[in-house]
Amino acid sequence: MNLTDRVILITGGARGIGAAIAFRIADEKPRGIVVSDVDARAGESVAEQLRNLGAPAIAVAADVTRKDEVTHLVESTEAEFGPVDLLCSNAGIATGMGVHAADSVWERSWAVNVLGHVHLAQAVLAGMTRRRTGHIVITASAAGLLGLPGDAPYAVTKNAAVSLAEWLAVTYGHLGIKVSALCPLGVRTELLMEGLKAGHRAARSVAGSGDILEPAEVADCVVAGVADEAFFIFPHRQVGALHAAKAADPDAWIRRHSVPLSRD
């Protein structure tokens, strides 16, 4: 998809990968960019910076776990700029916890990392199907393909996010709707860097698995992936080969990556 004169909606857009995507897409001369985040003030700050760069942009606060707020978000986007051409469903959370995380942690991870994408897809698919065009990018993670020692809720829900992206691609592709799963390893965002500061095993595992990319590098890959209509977007090139190796011999993969039991 060429992003010139397109309407772009980005959730989790106030910082990190989401904000970087917004600033990168501003270079493509879009019709409008909607920055959405639970942090209304931070979202408005990004939108203001985009406007200062000459890109039409607004901020709409929304919690992606709330279906009514997601509906309002899409309606606000359409009222301001027109139908959504590209949805970057980017909001996500990590926990740094294992299988014994509290039920509330599991439920929150599921609500944000899976149902958030579901709510957004539900809100945009009717219009995209009618127009026979549109692109959805779901920010998953390499953890959704390779696993992640030290953060069970994150690994499990990111795996589900990849599965959702695949289901959408298979189900709606014949209607002209493209879907991509963004699966980076380490990116220099609060999500990773705060985990490293706290000494979380999951964050250390991610940092040790490859280069830590800047969010702007990931945003470049997103724009390129959308242009190529690629399903998998791998900012870290080794992820594709690692995923293939895991699929070829899962038993060997599990043996190689098994870690001594901790309290979790």
Q: What pLDDT, on the 0 to 100 scale, is given for residue 204?
A: 83
* Structure-block tokens of residue 10: 């980005």
The crossing angle, in degrees rounded to 10, of helices 238-248 and 250-257 is 110
Backbone angles phi, psi at 207, to 5 degrees: -65, -30
With contact defined as beta carbons under 8 Å apart, do 158 and 104 qualify? no
Backbone angles phi, psi at 170, to 5 degrees: -70, -40
Backbone angles phi, psi at 180, to 5 degrees: -130, 145
Ordered per-residue pLDDT tens for the chain, 264 residues: 999 999 999 999 999 999 999 999 999 999 999 999 999 999 999 999 999 999 999 999 999 999 999 999 999 999 999 999 999 999 999 998 999 999 999 999 999 999 999 999 999 999 999 999 999 999 999 999 999 888 999 999 999 999 999 999 999 999 999 999 999 998 888 777 788 888 888 888 887 788 888 999 999 999 999 999 999 999 999 999 999 999 999 999 999 888 665 544
DSSP-based three-state secondary structure for 252: helix
- Tokens 């309002």 label which residue? 72
Q: 236: number of CA atoms within 13 Å, CB side?
A: 24
Report all structural domains of the chain as residue ranges with CATH numbers, in order of start: 7-257 (3.40.50.720)
Q: What pLDDT, on the 0 to 100 scale, is given for residue 194?
A: 84
Report the C-alpha gap between 142 and 144 in whole angstroms.
5
Q: What is the dihedral of CA 28, 29, 34, 35, to 10 degrees?
A: 50
Report the C-alpha gap between 254 and 199 in whole angstroms.
24
Q: What pLDDT, on the 0 to 100 scale, is given for residue 145?
A: 96
Cα 51 → chain centroid: 23
Q: What pLDDT, on the 0 to 100 scale, is given for residue 262?
A: 53
How much is the pTM?
0.94
